[in-house]
Structure formats: structure tokens, C-alpha cells
């Protein structure tokens, strides 16, 4: 995907995150983008503390698409995926990851929020521990204000 496609999809994933927040869920959103870099195959908001947007999307994708096809797809997510979500992406065989804001930025937003005890384990570290050459792009600092906006005040409730 081009940088412009990444940015466009990140903003769409952020709309998914905003919808999740209106449902009282954590404001995270993810998309599965087809190999053409344009077609959005699925979108997913966060469900709860265990059913994150990225992991739920990757699991659903693995049931609906072949491993070969998924290797050429991209998972786009508003924030750097946690270790659980990165591992799920790895096992689902999704070959490309694009994230908007870093986990360290999320920690600044959530602080000690019981609902989101962040792990200080970068997704690149998780992927480097495996045997697949998953491509990772992110963060996108120019989009951070947009991606952070749904989180402002959310974690202090």
C-alpha cells in the first residue's frame, strides 16, 4: 500500500473506533484490506478487554479467506497492536500490518486504567520472535491527533 492509502485506511479505522466508543467499548478500530490496497474486506471495533478489534478481525478473516490470500492482505489498526493481537495476526497469516499510533502513546492516554493495562511489548518485537517476514508500517505521527481524539477523556470515566 502507498503511504496515502495507509493514511486513508487509518482514518477509516478511526471512524470504526469512534463507533465502538459510542457503544461504550474501547475506542479502537481495525480494517482488513485486500491485496489491491483499496478494497476493505472487513472492519471491526473493539468488543471488550479480551476481544480486541485486531484479534477479532484476524480470527474472522482466518475463517473466511485462505492463508495464501491473507498473506497478501493488510490489517490496518488505529493503535499498535498488543502482543495478543500481534500473535493472532501472525497465526492468521496476515502478511502486512499498518498501525497509526504507538503503544507508548496509548499508555500516556490510559495511565493506570484498569480496563486497559497496556503491555510494553512492541509488535515488531513479537513478530521478530517468529518465523514470518510480516511487513510492519507505523506509527504515523501526522495522524496521531486524529487517532488520539476518541481516547481523550474516555479512560478517565
Marked catalytic residue, from 4, 38, 43, 54: 54
In sequence order, the 6+-apart residues with CB closer than 8 A to the CB of 112 are none
pTM across the whole model: 0.93
32-80 tens-digit pLDDT? 999 999 999 999 999 988 999 999 999 999 999 999 999 999 999 999 9
Per-residue confidence at 90, pLDDT binned at 50, 70, 90? very high
Question: What average pLDDT score do residues 78-106 get?
Answer: 94
- Whether residue 29 is predicted with pLDDT greater than 90 in this model: the reply is yes
State how beta strands 40-45 and 74-79 pair. Answer: unpaired
Q: Among this protein's residues, is 114 annotated catalytic? A: no
Q: Average pLDDT in the 112-130 region?
A: 81
* CA 149 distance to own-chain centroid: 16
Residues 75 and 93 sit within 8 Å (Cβ to Cβ): no
Amino acid at each position: 500500500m502507498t503511504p496515502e492509502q495507509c493514511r486513508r485506511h487509518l482514518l477509516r479505522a478511526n471512524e470504526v473506533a469512534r463507533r465502538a466508543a459510542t457503544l461504550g467499548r474501547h475506542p479502537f478500530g481495525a480494517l482488513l484490506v485486500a491485496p489491491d490496497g483499496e478494497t476493505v474486506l472487513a472492519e471491526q471495533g473493539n468488543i471488550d478487554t479480551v476481544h480486541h478489534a485486531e484479534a477479532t478481525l484476524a480470527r474472522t478473516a482466518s475463517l473466511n479467506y485462505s492463508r495464501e490470500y491473507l498473506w497478501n492482505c493488510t490489517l490496518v489498526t488505529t493503535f499498535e497492536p498488543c502482543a495478543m493481537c500481534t500473535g493472532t495476526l501472525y497465526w492468521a497469516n496476515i502478511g502486512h500490518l499498518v498501525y497509526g499510533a504507538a503503544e507508548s502513546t496509548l499508555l500516556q492516554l490510559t495511565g493506570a486504567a484498569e480496563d486497559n493495562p497496556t503491555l510494553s511489548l512492541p509488535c515488531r518485537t513479537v513478530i521478530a520472535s517468529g518465523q514470518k517476514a510480516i511487513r510492519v508500517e507505523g506509527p504515523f505521527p501526522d495522524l496521531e491527533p486524529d487517532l488520539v481524539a476518541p481516547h481523550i477523556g474516555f479512560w478517565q470515566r
